[in-house]
Amino acid sequence: ALRASFEPVIAAAARALGQIRDRASIATMRELVSEGRPGVAVAAMEALRVMEDPALDDLLVEALGQEDEELVKEALRAIAQSEAPRREARIALA
């Protein structure tokens, strides 16, 4: 379902994999965040946040520079809900 052509299906699959914390899907989720499809990227970012992906910090910094408002909002939400002080420090420097 992550390779479907209909974006709502991909987004739903990403969210479902995040809910079950399918760590085998982390690499694919990272790709989905970077592909440029806003709805899919937001869903993948949500999944990575739930799975506590260690590479999420870098993706959040990148997302803050995107044009899509929903993606930027999700990145800010993830930062606000984070308990990792290092994340806030990296964002401040970016």
pLDDT over 90 at 13, yes or no = yes
In a domain, 72, yes or no: yes
In a domain, 2, yes or no: no
In a domain, 47, yes or no: yes
Confidence of residue 89 (pLDDT cuts 50, 70, 90): low
Mean of pLDDT values over 70-74: 85
With contact defined as beta carbons under 8 Å apart, do 66 and 91 qualify?
no
Confidence of residue 88 (pLDDT cuts 50, 70, 90): low
State the alpha helices, DSSP H only, in the chain: 7-19, 26-34, 38-50, 56-64, 69-81, 85-93
pLDDT over 90 at 44, yes or no = yes
SS3 (DSSP) at 3 = coil
* Structural domain for 82, as ranges: 7-93
The pLDDT of residue 80 = 79
The residue among 72, 73, 17 whose CA lies nearest residue 50 is: 17
Residue-wise pLDDT tens digits, 18-28: 999 999 999 99
In a domain, 66, yes or no: yes
In a domain, 44, yes or no: yes
The pLDDT of residue 83 = 67
Ramachandran quadrant class, 21 (left: phi over 0; alpha: psi -120 to 50; beta: rest): left
In a domain, 63, yes or no: yes
In a domain, 1, yes or no: no
CA dihedral of residues 66, 19, 51, 2 (deg, nearest 10): -60
In a domain, 70, yes or no: yes
What's the number of domains the chain is made of?
A: 1
The pLDDT of residue 67 = 86
